[in-house]
Amino acid sequence: MDRPTLTDAERAKTLRETILHHDRLYYVEARPAISDVEYDRLWSELEQLERAHPELITPDSPTQRVSGDPISGFEKVRHDPPMRSLDKTYERGELLQFDAFLRDKLPDAVWDYTVEPKVDGLSLSLLYRDGVLVRAATRGNGEVGDDITANVKTIRSIPLRIPTEATLVEVRGEIYMTREGFVELNHREEEAGREPFANPRNAAAGSIKLLDPREVAQRPLDAVLYGVGALSGVSFTTHTAMLRALAEWGFKTPPWQRLCMDINQVLLAIDELGSRRHTFPFEIDGAVIKVNQRTLYASLGSTAHAPRFARAYKYAPEIAETRLNGITIQVGRTGVLTPVAELEPVQLAGSVISRATLHNADMIEAKDFRIGDSVLISKHGDVIPAVDAVVMEKRPPEATPYVFPNVCPVCGEPAVKLNDEVATRCVNPDCPAQRVGRLELFVSRNALDISAIGGRMAEALVQAGLVIRPLDLFSLQSEALATFKLISEDGSERRFGKKAEDVAQALAHAAELPLHRWITALGIPGIGETAARTLAALFPSFSAMKETTLIEKIIAFYEATDRKLERTDDRDLFTGEIIARAEALAPYGVIQRDDPSRNIRDRYLLTVKPEMARSLYRFITSPYAEDLFTRLAELHIDPKPELPQANGSALAGQSFVITGTLTQPREHFEALIRQQGGSVQNSVSKKTTYLLIGENPGGSKYTKAQALGTPLLTEAAFMEMIHGASQPSSSVVAAPQTPPPPKKPAAPSKPKAPAPTEYIQETLF
Ligand code: AMP
Ligand code: ZN
């Protein structure tokens, strides 16, 4: 291939710039200057040039908007500064308080306010280095989000390059799906036999998380930008000046803004915006009020949740009237019977509503919903449709009160209310609906991620009696699965066929998944994904959960600290006991020693909450779990926890020797050290960084370490080290001169028997 001549390179550059310029005119400013044919000609010339000379391709070339292969997941990125939310209010009075609060905080300052729409989409962060878009991320939890660069590049209104001298610019805003695009997309989805999206926000969220950028490019996504994060080489004194700069750089900024001199003008502006709320191409769920002077932001600061310079004002939800055509009952994984309102389809705040949950029998009774009634519906949180009230004047004379079923509509067994619950439950553990529910959770994405068994397949497998308990999946023969016939709603039959292979693969993969995914998959009451992660950190493996001592200790710890508050007389004695227990838990990484000025309970904040511990205890001591442990052992599946802070290099270059008895087998610690980049030796030498020391340490290793001045590390200090700090705080490293601290494990008092096993629990497992 001939080398690109200078003119090729120049030509490519000109073409890139010309196309990006026209993209901006078309997608951002909606005033195209050339015809489609002319645009296409520019485009194909650039493509040809780049094909002949791939070295001319730059990351900001318009041809690179849709590039790259599907990925298997998103990388995590850390936000600095964090992406905070907004404090919200529904009351005008609270805005006056906001103003008063600011004047109190800033007695000498003068400022004005801006009002702009609160776009109901997904928070977005765009990072430009030397003017080139290098990273796009979701907000995630505010501290850590997902890297969605490839997907975001497909949004044509987002500039790939911005004309700035600044070395670093982080622009923040919102990705949304246009109302129009949403309706079209849902139409397509329905035709393809898929579930339509509930609203534009969900559709945007679902689209931006697609793993194939080519698919994302087909989705009608757009973005509006209204803020900045990290900046280097540029700064702004006011919000309005910042928005102007964003617009100059080629971003879509809020299409409506008002600058207000005082809070009264703000109130007028939010009224004006309220009357226009449906005129925007995106859904809005409120107004955002910001102090215009950015120079005041630093002294105002922020809470963990939101900055103090802004407030969101949410508009009252909109209401529609329609007819309640019927009430159907859904039975979930835990046997709960959920009544669903079947409504005459009606347009409400941007989408068509035909169903809404009625929550439970009490709610139907309290609001006296009767079939045939005219009802008022709204969207709660502007998203979830809810039936609020009956229009009594319009009640048909023949309408009778709704009688909530006392049998499960799926299995026909009794459905009852337990204890003080509002829910009515089917208490038949063999209920097919519950089996399906459990299987669905088991195969769901955050659990074992066996997508081929989604929805209809789960139901069919249970119906056919092939899967009773989720683990039955593992003993299903591929053949049985391949020839399994799935009957669709229209009555046509189709074989599971090749998908059986996908299942086999997913199962093999599931066996290797970390412990928290398995704990999530079990659907233990009150233990979702987050709790599962916390709990998984306590055990070296799934089978190790059979050993209940640690959980018992945690339960006992909470009971002790609870009692403490009432007993002042023997408080000191009691406090000592709590400390001993807490220290005994420290090696497991479940204790966070907090600010010593706080009270003892707070100081030893456990990451494992009492309800979690109790629920896990009930589960692992249930007959269901016993069966589970046995079957997993037969299948040779024993999931292990993912290592804390798996950066893999916390101990890089460090060499450890282990001596004495630790709270877990030595292999466990060896694995931890290796996975964090450290090494383990059998004897102490000059090269040894630390001697990890347990109870009854071996004499020779200890003496040698003393002689060489090798630092000693208790198990607690070690755990602290790999959990975060790369250096243990000096207080927890035993000085080499002192003999190993006598570590007497606190004798745990027998925990009170957990509350009498609840009925639900038994029926569940
Ligand atoms: P919420 O997600 O309801 O807690 O509201 C906070 C979010 O509103 C922020 O994180 C932004 O993503 C979003 N938002 C939408 N429009 C704006 C705007 N004009 N200014 C600031 N934030 C906005
Ligand atoms: Zn049932």
Does residue 730 have a pLDDT over 50?
A: no
All structural domains of the chain, each given as residue ranges with its CATH number in brackets, are 6-64 (1.10.287.610), 76-314 (3.30.470.30), 320-426 (2.40.50.140), 450-510 (no CATH), 515-634 (no CATH), 655-733 (3.40.50.10190)
Query: Does residue 285 have its Cβ closer than 6 Å to ligand 1?
Result: no
pLDDT at residue 598 tops 60: no
Element (H, E) at 264: helix 263-275
Q: What is the pLDDT of residue 14?
A: 93
Residue 84 CA, closest ligand 1 atom number: 10
117 CA: nearest ligand 1 atom:
19
Q: What is the pTM of this model?
A: 0.49
Position 192 scores a pLDDT of 59
H-helix or E-strand containing 616? helix 610-620
pLDDT in tens, 125-134: 999 999 999 9
Which-ligand-closest: CA of 406? Answer: 2
- Closest ligand to residue 254's CA: 1
What pLDDT does 765 receive? 29
Q: Is 226 in the pocket of ligand 1 (CB under 6 A)?
A: yes
Ligand 1 atom having least distance to the Cα of 120: 15
Q: Confidence class of residue 599 from pLDDT cuts 50, 70 and 90?
A: low
417 is catalytic: no
Instruction: Give the pLDDT score at 756.
Output: 30
Pocket test for ligand 1, best of 86, 246, 252 (most atoms within 8 A of CB): 86
Q: pLDDT at position 492, please?
A: 73
Q: How far is the CA of 306 from the centre of ligand 1 (A)?
A: 10
| Closest ligand (CA of 335) | 2
The model's pLDDT over 559-578, given as tens digits with 9 standing for 90+, comes to 877 665 554 444 555 667 77
pLDDT band at 252 (very low <50, low <70, confident <90, very high): very high
pLDDT at 5: 65
Q: Which residues pair with 656 in a beta bridge?
A: 680, 690
> Residue 522's Cα: distance from chain center in Å?
19
Which residue's CA is minimally distant from atom 1 of ligand 1? Answer: 85
Given pLDDT bands bounded at 50, 70 and 90, which one contains residue 384?
Answer: low
Across 567-709, where does the E strand assignment appear? 591-593, 604-606, 655-659, 679-681, 690-693
Q: Which candidate, 610, 611, 614, 625, places its Cα nearest to that of 762?
A: 625
For residue range 6-30, list pLDDT tens digits in order. 689 999 999 999 999 998 888 888 7
Strand 655-659 to 690-693 pairing = parallel
**pLDDT higher than threshold 80 for residue 102:** yes
750 has a pLDDT exceeding 60: no
How far is Cα 50 from Cα 58, in angstroms, rounded to an integer? Answer: 9
Tokens of 35: 């015809």
Q: What is the mean pLDDT of residues 322-340?
A: 93
| pLDDT of the residue at 121 | 93
Q: Is the CB of 280 under 6 A from ligand 1?
A: no
- Whether the predicted pLDDT of 364 surpasses 60: yes
Contacts of 218 (CB under 8 A, 6+ apart): none
| 223 or 2, higher pLDDT | 223
Take atom 2 of ligand 1 and give the residue whose Cα is closest: 85
pLDDT of residue 736: 35
Q: What is the pLDDT of residues 469-480, one digit of tens each?
A: 999 999 887 777
**Which alpha helices (H) appear in 398-511, and where do they start and end?**
432-443, 455-463, 478-482, 499-511
State the average pLDDT over residues 494-505. Answer: 81
For residue 136, list its beta bridge partners.
126
Alpha-carbon distance of 286 to 273, in angstroms, equals: 9
What is the tens place of the pLDDT at every residue in 404-452? 999 999 999 999 988 777 788 898 988 999 999 999 999 998 899 998 8
User: Per the residue annotation, which of 13, 76, 105, 118 is the catalytic one?
Assistant: 118
Q: Model confidence over 504-553: pLDDT tens digits?
A: 889 999 999 999 999 999 989 878 877 898 888 888 899 999 999 889 98
Query: Given the CA of residue 86, which atom of ligand 1 is nearest to it?
Result: 6
- Who wins on pLDDT, 222 or 24? 222
Question: What is the per-residue burial (b if ≥16 Cβ within 10 Å, else e) of 582-616?
Answer: bbbbbbbbbbebeeeeeeebebbebbbeeebbbbb
Q: Which residue has the higher pLDDT, 481 or 570?
A: 481
- Higher pLDDT: 399 or 191? It is 399
